[in-house]
Amino acid sequence: MKRRSLLLLGALSPIALFSARYLRAITAGAPLPTDYRQQVEELHQFASTIQTPADARRFVDFLAGLFAKEMPPGWTGHSLRNQLAQAEFSAVSDPQKAIPESRLAEAWNAYVDTIGATEDHKVTPAELHNLRDAFLTTARLTWDRGSRNIWAVPSIYATLPDGRLAPGCRAVESIRLLWDLANRPENLKGARDRVSKGVLFSDLFQKPSGSPGPSITQAASITFTVNPPKPMELAARNYIQLNGNKAFRSAVMAMLTKTLS
């Protein structure tokens, strides 16, 4: 099976927003592209200044350009970009049109069923909300400290006017969540533990002054930790072996269509 055909296992989207190319460089200490910081700043700028459908399309096109080399042919096509851009603009312009966490959970859980992954990979809306809170908190902490990395851009998340996490998701944010569910099971486990205790990750940073709390390194580990093997990738690989790439593509597209509809 060609590696390019399996790249989708590491992205689960038409646009590989959080590419293995960057993750490998970060975790291995390898040098990032010379224009990496500029790319992240531009990503933040595009994500935070969407006022028209054209703005949303420029945001999506920018992502497609960044990761065109990572995706199999056909996964950054015009129709897919339109769908993602439309959903992104809808969520930004009208909070009532944001992607409900319940819908995202349904889309992911249906995908888990389709490829025959185990039940423990399914999620609840509460777990997704807790995971979103962890990602947004981490992104803000790293960003406020001057760190710039493509895994922690706070402006891709749906927030309320007071800065709190919104109950619904933006489109690109949803893609980032799907990627993480497929590739970082330890993050979901952490979210489940917090849900069981009735706390959010952001609560850990609201301690009285002087009280010890998680360090920024601990927070960043939510997005950077790499712990193979990846059970979802193995399930997807088995599904492809039994049903072929076309069936797998259909399963992913069904998940994306459900998410972005």
Strands (E) in 24-160, as ranges, are 99-100
pLDDT of residue 73: 54
Average pLDDT over residues 202-216: 60
Which segment, 80-84, 188-192, 230-234, is predicted with the most confidence on average? 188-192
Quick one: pLDDT band at residue 114, thresholds 50, 70, 90?
very high
Percent of the residues in the chain that have a pLDDT greater than 70, as a whole number: 73
Q: What is the mean pLDDT of residues 120-137?
A: 96
Question: Do 217 and 224 form a contact (C-beta atoms < 8 A)?
Answer: no
pTM over cut 0.95: no
pLDDT band of residue 229 (cuts 50, 70, 90) is low
Can you give the pLDDT at residue 205? Answer: 78
Tokens of 237: 């690989």
- The confidence band for 32, taking pLDDT boundaries of 50, 70 and 90, is low
Residue 48 vs residue 231, higher pLDDT = 48
**Burial of residue 160 (number of CB atoms within 10 Å: 0-12, 13-18, 19+):** exposed
The band of 75, judged by pLDDT with boundaries at 50, 70 and 90, is: low
Q: Which two tokens stand for residue 143?
A: 């960003």
More confident residue, 213 or 67: 67
Backbone φ and ψ for 130, nearest 5 degrees, come out as -65, -40
Of residues 106 and 14, the one with the higher pLDDT is: 106
> Closest by alpha carbon to 175, among 116, 77, 86, 259?
259
Which residues sit opposite 159 in a β-bridge? Answer: 165
| 8 Å CB contact between 101 and 169 | yes
- Between 17 and 241, the higher pLDDT residue: 241
pLDDT above 80: residue 35: no
Q: Which residues contact 171 (CB under 8 A, 6 or more apart)?
A: 84, 85, 87, 88, 91, 99, 259, 260
Residue 212 confidence (pLDDT): 46
Cα(152)–Cα(135) distance, integer angstroms = 7
**In the prediction, which pLDDT does 7 show?**
36
Tell me how far apart the alpha carbons of residues 31 and 19 are, in angstroms, rounded to a whole number.
15
Mean pLDDT of the chain: 80
- Residue 30 DSSP class: P
